[in-house]
Chains A and B, each alone.
Chain A
Amino acid sequence: MLRVSRLVSWTLALYAVASPAYSAPSGDVLSLLRDADRGRGGIQQGLGWTVSIDSQDDGDSSSTTYQVRTRGDNAYVEVTAPARSKGEVFLFNDRTIWFFKPTLKKPVAISARQKLTGQAANGDIASTNYARDYDAKIMRKEPVNGASCFVLDLKSKHDSTTYDRIRYWVSEKRRLGIKAEFLSLEGKILKKAEFKYDQKVVVDGKSLDFVSEMIIVDALNSANRSVMHYAKPAIVKTPDSLFNVNNLLR
């Protein structure tokens, strides 16, 4: 009898050790996610950068460049190339996204999930705020390219997020997102992404790592991919009026 109970105890102990859920205080997870967001533009101060997206999609290639200006939960993204799309604007007002071009009488409300170009969705273009939009849980620790990473399971809090679920590898040491898998509600991998942080931005006198490249690959066809090159990140003063949808009409 004693042997049986000992066996059960050992089995339960082993199960607890091997369990995929990595227990960590929820505050730690949130703080980790906020730090990772910061490396992808998620800061409260006004920030600006340019991003060009080079896409390969079913054998076709395309390239688009955007000028991005963000502050808090808002972003103003203007197309600067190609010439025929110049002047088109994506305005992120908290969770609402507007598309506007000068020939329109009114802007069009669009979804963060809608395809922007190649593999990139509308929601991929502006700053990231996973800490606000997702419930996060640390699943385990796993090395990626030799660096120890927390594997986070992110579940969308509302339906205006870009993805329903994200598996997110955040570097333990640098506290930056290293790679991600974007999943459907059923857990099917739709797209994979990798991030590089080869540039810095100075915020409040502190030099922070800032994303320099994001590669998004179609999970079913790796030839379909978009490479987002981020450049010239800097703190910029952006007036409130820039994010006012009414000003698009003027």
Chain B
Amino acid sequence: MILAKLGIRNFWLQRQRNLFALSAIAIGVTGLICIGGYIDRWEHTLRTDTIYMRGQGMVSIYRKNGWLMSRSLPKKFSLTRSDQDKIYAIIEKLPGVERVGSVLNGSGLISNGCHSQPFEIRGYDLAVDQWMRERPIVKKWCANSLRFIRGQSFATTAPGPLIGIATGLAGLIGKSAVKALTSSAGPLTSLTEYCSGPGAAARIAEDSNVQLMAMTASGHFNATDADIAHVFSTGSKVNEDTQLTAPLSLVQDLLQTDRVSSVAIYLEDFRRTDAVARDLRERLSQAGLSYDVHVWNERKLSPMYSGLMNFLHAMSLFCTLLIGSVVVLAVVNLTTMNVLQRSREMGTLKAMGFGSGALVQIFFVEAAVLGVLGCLIGTGIAKVLAIGIGHAGIHFTPPGSSVAQDFLIVPDVLTIFEVVVFVLALVALSAAATAWALGRRSCLDLLTHSA
């Protein structure tokens, strides 16, 4: 107790010198929490986007090698009606499942009547889409992706065969109108006039009607009319020129099949993903069924999530090393100065019978007070900064992104805790090690040393 009192008293006596080290620690904590908060923001957004907006769910089930091959060879690598029934029967018994949906991927050509562009289409359950859009987590983390650039959801658009089209692809086929906003045009009499007559570009842009053409599962041509219900952004420049979405039924009609590419499982808690996937594999194996079970964060399923998170983690490691070094140098410098200046005091204490360990304890307490204060101030500044940045409404376009994103810093409690523990440990260890190295001198040596 006496050592703690000495430590706290010394901290107060050396307050001017301590202020420099305190500033270094507080700024370091602020920096680390801000970096952590930035990573947390992208972790939440990309995870929610991968699981919900891309319709993958936390766990997805494919035929063997179906993830790779179902788009090119749907007849061999997609799930038949019978496969789907067996899978749904097993999922029913799985604990922690909140929702199940089916996805059918395909590819083909989209035409405005004048020229065509290749597309990749994802067909999904409308009920699952509606449920997903109402989820608070999706509204919170994927507000930008959730908003349509133009138009409305399939459920709120006039009935008929409907598609959603990515902005890039809409631009490539010269479309800007969506069905809900246009009146139905009369029958076309001359394609030549429609495509190359006066005002052709405006006429094509105002017409929400498109044709989709694809190879059916049995290898024949098929084509269907559809109207654009909404224009959306995929969030990624790579996919912007090719992506379409549609109700599952439209894609099944186009491909003339009742098959699906995968069954997606949405869990109540994403942290149970691996456990549920293990459980599911076991149940499928017990039932003698051989399907591929994938989890949402597999690199091949979510390259954007994996790539960006790896980059952010590498960047944060570099920054942590840099900030950690500054904090260590500040504390070592401060403790060295204190030890050298207080050599006589240490000598006297040693002469009174205090051991080296006790002297280290005094400096440890001083450093601990410094660390706790620095962490408190740093956390406070970081929180104020996070709130301020959130309210400032700063937008930026990250590399590879097709839309501007909100600049947000949203540190989790766990992130703050990790930063505080890391900095406290760093401060205490640096102080204790410095005091130990300098305090081992003899009593006489300490008493005769002049600062």
Docked CA distance A57–B115 (Å): 29
Residues in B whose Cβ lies below 8 Å from that of A109? 111, 114-116
Residues in A whose Cβ lies below 8 Å from that of B14? none
Minimal Cβ-Cβ distance residue in B for A116: B221
Secondary structure class of chain B's binding surface, majority of residues:
mixed
Minimal Cβ-Cβ distance residue in B for A90: B221
B221 touches A85 (CB 8 A): yes
B220 touches A58 (CB 8 A): no
B188 touches A110 (CB 8 A): no
Minimal Cβ-Cβ distance residue in B for A85: B220
A105 touches B219 (CB 8 A): no
Report if B242 contacts A (CB, 8 A).
Answer: no
Report if A204 contacts B (CB, 8 A).
Answer: no
Docked CA distance A64–B215 (Å): 14
Known: A60-B75, A106-B211. 12 other contacts (CB 8 A): A62-B219, A82-B220, A99-B223, A106-B188, A108-B213, A108-B223, A109-B111, A110-B116, A117-B219, A246-B192, A248-B191, A249-B187
Docked CA distance A62–B219 (Å): 8
Partner of B211, one of A57, A105, A118, A248: A105
Docked CA distance A245–B190 (Å): 8
B116 touches A108 (CB 8 A): yes
The interface centre, meaning the residue of B75, B109, B219, B224 with most chain A CB atoms within 10 A of its CB, is B219
Partner of A107, one of B113, B190, B218, B219: B113
Within 8 A of B (CB), among A202-250: 245-246, 248-250
A246 touches B221 (CB 8 A): no
Tally of chain B residues near chain A (CB < 8 A): 28
Residues in A whose Cβ lies below 8 Å from that of B73? 58
The 10 A-B residue pairs whose C-beta atoms are closest, nearest first, are A106-B113, A108-B111, A108-B213, A109-B116, A108-B211, A246-B190, A105-B225, A246-B191, A109-B115, A245-B191
Residues in A whose Cβ lies below 8 Å from that of B194? 106
B191 touches A106 (CB 8 A): yes
Report if A14 contacts B (CB, 8 A).
Answer: no
Residues in A whose Cβ lies below 8 Å from that of B213? 99, 108, 110
The interface centre, meaning the residue of B75, B116, B187 with most chain A CB atoms within 10 A of its CB, is B116
Docked CA distance A118–B220 (Å): 9
Residues in B whose Cβ lies below 8 Å from that of A82? 220
Minimal Cβ-Cβ distance residue in A for B192: A246
Docked CA distance A117–B213 (Å): 14
Residues in A whose Cβ lies below 8 Å from that of B188? 105-106, 249
Report if A188 contacts B (CB, 8 A).
Answer: no
Report if B209 contacts A (CB, 8 A).
Answer: yes
Write out, one digit per residue, whether chain A residues 104-123 have a CB within 8 A of any chain B CB (1) or not (0). Answer: 11111110001111100000
Tally of chain A residues near chain B (CB < 8 A): 29
B212 to chain A, nearest CB (A): 8
B191 touches A88 (CB 8 A): no
Residues in B whose Cβ lies below 8 Å from that of A60? 75, 218-219
Minimal Cβ-Cβ distance residue in A for B113: A106
Residues in B whose Cβ lies below 8 Å from that of A62? 218-220
Within 8 A of A (CB), among B180-232: 187-192, 194, 209, 211, 213, 215, 218-221, 223-225
Report if B449 contacts A (CB, 8 A).
Answer: no
Residues in A whose Cβ lies below 8 Å from that of B113? 105-107
Residues in A whose Cβ lies below 8 Å from that of B76? 58
Minimal Cβ-Cβ distance residue in B for A57: B219
A240 to chain B, nearest CB (A): 14
Report if A140 contacts B (CB, 8 A).
Answer: no
B219 touches A55 (CB 8 A): yes
A105 touches B116 (CB 8 A): no
A91 to chain B, nearest CB (A): 11
Report if A145 contacts B (CB, 8 A).
Answer: no
The interface centre, meaning the residue of A62, A88, A109 with most chain B CB atoms within 10 A of its CB, is A109
Q: Given the known A-B contacts A60-B218, A60-B219, A62-B218, are A107 and B224 also in contact in the complex, defined by CB atoms under 8 Å?
A: no
Report if A174 contacts B (CB, 8 A).
Answer: no
A246 touches B111 (CB 8 A): no
Residues in A whose Cβ lies below 8 Å from that of B215? 115
Report if A196 contacts B (CB, 8 A).
Answer: no
Docked CA distance A102–B102 (Å): 31
Q: List 27 A-B contacts (CB under 8 A).
A: A55-B219, A57-B219, A60-B219, A64-B220, A85-B220, A85-B221, A99-B213, A103-B224, A104-B223, A104-B224, A105-B187, A105-B225, A106-B111, A107-B113, A107-B211, A108-B109, A108-B111, A110-B109, A110-B213, A114-B109, A117-B220, A117-B221, A245-B192, A246-B189, A246-B191, A249-B188, A250-B189
Docked CA distance A12–B111 (Å): 57
The interface centre, meaning the residue of A64, A88, A105, A248 with most chain B CB atoms within 10 A of its CB, is A105
Minimal Cβ-Cβ distance residue in A for B185: A105
Docked CA distance A99–B189 (Å): 17
Partner of B225, one of A103, A117, A246, A250: A103
Minimal Cβ-Cβ distance residue in A for B212: A108
Partner of A99, one of B114, B192, B209, B221: B221
Docked CA distance A246–B211 (Å): 16
